[in-house]
Structure 1
């Protein structure tokens, strides 16, 4: 588990309270997309710092710059334009950049009551963690109490959900798996959860390619990116206090 306190204890980096409001221009995002194949993490961070200094919000850095770059790296591999090692190194560099940005630009938002809680995890067996860490960071920056699992075993995931209260469970599904496997996991999550009416979201490459899978496996929703997932989660958590609810949005 990656606790948010790890960020608080990393005091060796300069920190800034720069609060940008601009979004990454799509043309800039397109030019950045393949850079992780050629630049090291420090060089990529310098490029990202340039966006931040121009007033781009940290949320936009995650959602509009780093996430599309990760998807583009996957496309390079699918189209046989580079090998698996190149893609793996590129994704690692993006993950390191995201970590450094989180450390240098911590959020001012803090919900002292911790009224909204979320756990994010890749599907057990899925080794891709970037999407999980990214969505967890977006939620945390909006005041949620969040935690993330990296390469969890099914037993570990279910044990944590059984022991602790989470309003939202987010599963990222990047590898291919059967609907039956995913449906069985979601059913198990609901059966052990300490939170009545826990909301289970699914996302990732496999879900984006077939949003209809949400209904097929019994999930509560999906969204194409972390920003949309946050909007959906906040609506669902607010609604569930009025009773059991199923809330579908055309976000997938």
Structure 2
């Protein structure tokens, strides 16, 4: 199944130094400037997807310790997450998919895989970056590999992605200015699997986000926030969404590491709620929308 990704394999191990040398030695890359730190003012994702990824997908570690599946286990352990996260920085997406397939083969559901393995892995990559254990490019590459896994798994179950006509509509978006959209991708997938009709926006501007809500009817908007420094703009963004929405009863939820650690912050920024993972977010969103619909009938 991993061959469906069309990724080349390499017989040479790669480490962080080798990763950086490959970037430095890549030929004919366009000139660009990168300002380090958390206040990025560039679209590193587009640069990586268009120029760097095609040159780097041959790099992976052949000596990575395998994940050992346990027959009959339908849960993901913390040890598995801690073993999988560093692999996402070191090996090809195809190799990661092999390990994911082993986990699915022992009876773990797709939803559990996404919520209990892939989402925590993405959060750990963010922690690695905050602790300067890897750089922004490495984190972006790791998240790209996780996205490829989600796309591959989703492609296997098209029947589960069918949405009933006239179903509830959700708009899922990463917070304007947030360069990483894996959280929005994962949330979107979970809503689709619960028969919602969804639109997903990534690397969107505030104007584009408000424009979409003003032009189309949505029952729900989910905003994912990867980094604390985007939270300051949330109250204004949420207020703007409510003011322009075609749905006067629009439900808005926020999610991300900061809200997992401080769920009360959701109410402070003007959202209707938050949830610690995508599976619970779908359940809460359904309850919120149903509550708003009942209130409208009174």
TM-score, structure 2 length as denominator? 0.71
Match of 1:241, SS?
helix
Change (3 A) 1:112 1:169: same
Q: Across the two proteins, how many residue pairs are aligned to each other?
A: 229
Alpha-carbon distance between aligned partners in 2 of 1:144 and 1:233, rounded to the nearest angstrom: 11
Counting only pairs closer than 5 Å after superposition, residues 86-165 of structure 1 correspond to structure 2 as 86-108=138-160, 110-165=162-217
Match of 1:127, SS?
coil
Alpha-carbon distance between aligned partners in 1 of 2:230 and 2:90, rounded to the nearest angstrom: 35
**Number of the residue aligned with 2:292:** 240
1:172 aligns with 2:172: no
Change (3 A) 1:109 1:155: closer
Runs of 4+ in 1 over 6 A off after TM superposition: none
**Number of the residue aligned with 2:237:** 185
Alpha-carbon distance between aligned partners in 2 of 1:112 and 1:231, rounded to the nearest angstrom: 18
Q: Deviations over 1:15-72 (max 9, x none)?
A: xxxxx99332333233222210111101001111111222211111110111111111
Match of 2:223, SS?
strand
Two-structure CA RMSD over aligned residues (Å): 2.3
Match of 1:32, SS?
helix
Q: Match for 1:64 among 105, 113, 116?
A: 116
Change (3 A) 1:22 1:168: same
**Conserved in 2, the CA contact under 8 Å of 1:21 and 1:57?**
no
More displaced 10-residue stretch of structure 1: 53-62 or 210-219: 210-219
Match of 1:34, SS?
helix
**Number of the residue aligned with 1:217:** 269
**Number of the residue aligned with 1:248:** none
Alpha-carbon distance between aligned partners in 2 of 1:213 and 1:107, rounded to the nearest angstrom: 37
Deviation of 1:205 after TM superposition, in Å, equals 2.3
Q: Match for 2:104 among 45, 52, 62?
A: 52
The answer for unaligned runs of 5 or more in structure 1 is 1-11, 15-19, 245-252
Match of 2:254, SS?
strand
**Conserved in 2, the CA contact under 8 Å of 1:118 and 1:145?**
yes
Q: Deviations over 1:151-181 (max 9, x none)?
A: 0011111111011111110011113336552
TM-score, structure 1 length as denominator? 0.84
Q: Which protein has the larger Cα radius of gyration, Structure 1 or Structure 2?
A: 2
Match of 1:85, SS?
helix
